[in-house]
A = this chain, B = another copy of it.
């Protein structure tokens, strides 16, 4: 119907203001028992609570009601990119997750080591889940493969998983998986889904032929299958669509990768929240937008550890004054999705969101949590609209129409 970025390209203005978006991964939660409290409602968060009293609150719907997002769609939504429009293949996400800087001529492929029997049939699709110490040197061997006219990069990820990147002009990203999804049959040949990807399929076949020779004595990892073959989608940058110079301060590579996808500069995040705050302070004058990512709320949710998730939220709360000391014009606290400890997984539940600025309608509440955000003045909104609210409160959007 309309494109958000057509609007922001047209309406953006640079007034020198600064926006900080603090993303607590998997922030939203569920009570363990009927009528109980969520992790966030349980946590003692004096700083966020005090901020809530001067902020607008609301609930962010990551994709659509009922749709549980992965990290990719979850973050693209927060960055203002419709996650149903910009879909990211598994190979690309895997490459982002090991900090591989994909270019426009790169095809990214997720590889799985597998075991072949003497007849060339797969007996184990994950090569006995070999450990990283054994798999990493195999990736180094594969990294020496030469395919004429194409650059090849092979990088180990974890255990039996690796990433292969084929770099070259005219390589399409539409090639079928070679993993047959079952044992007792040989791996499939790479097949192009369209004419533009024929060269990619051929390059992959050349790669696999050499790989078979290189790995032949490395059972159980004596071959590999290819999956999620894809190119990076063409995504306009933050600078172009919003006029923002954006810096990302994320400890985990996946989130640096997602930030890189939308053109953010990747800043050294160190290992801790204190490191991240120090980086924010050191680079404050250099950027107009900061994305700070905090992973541990999601991690504890995935582990089903309610109490630990509460503690991680409290850790996050403790650094809020340090961020606010920079006096951002807009400060947002939200999550890319909910990860209720009760479910030990991502979920579709809307995510509590706080937006602090001098131009807020206030809520007359003194707690940040699902209970207060549910009735907040930002209402329940699609995550992809959050950047519009951020820009507006930062004074960075002109009036639409006369």
A: which residues have CB within 8 A of B? Answer: 1-2, 4, 7, 11, 30-31, 34-36, 38, 53-54, 59, 63-73, 82-85, 87-88, 90, 93, 340, 342-343, 345-350, 359-362, 364, 370-371, 374-381, 385-393, 397-402
Contacts and interface: CB of A to CB of B under 8 A. Distances in A.
A343 B357 CA distance: 13
B343 A397 contact: no
A343 B359 contact: yes
B399 A68 contact: yes
A70 to B, nearest CB: 4
A235 to B, nearest CB: 14
A379 B377 CA distance: 10
B85 A400 contact: no
20 contacts: A1-B85, A7-B84, A34-B54, A64-B385, A65-B378, A65-B385, A66-B387, A66-B389, A67-B392, A68-B397, A70-B402, A83-B400, A87-B401, A88-B401, A88-B402, A93-B402, A348-B389, A349-B361, A364-B371, A374-B379
A376 B221 CA distance: 53
Given A31-B362, A67-B7, A399-B68, A350 B374 contact: no
Nearest to A36: B362
B34 A381 contact: no
Nearest to A392: B66
Most B CB within 10 A of own CB, among A35, A362, A371, A375:
A362
A380 B59 CA distance: 12
Contacts of A54: 34-35
Contacts of A1: 1, 82, 84-85
A328 to B, nearest CB: 16
A229 to B, nearest CB: 14
Given A84-B1, A370-B361, A388 B64 contact: yes
A14 B164 CA distance: 34
A343 B85 CA distance: 35
Given A72-B402, A88-B401, A66 B35 contact: no
Given A34-B54, A68-B398, 11 more contacts: A1-B84, A59-B379, A65-B385, A65-B392, A66-B388, A66-B397, A69-B400, A70-B402, A90-B402, A348-B388, A374-B377
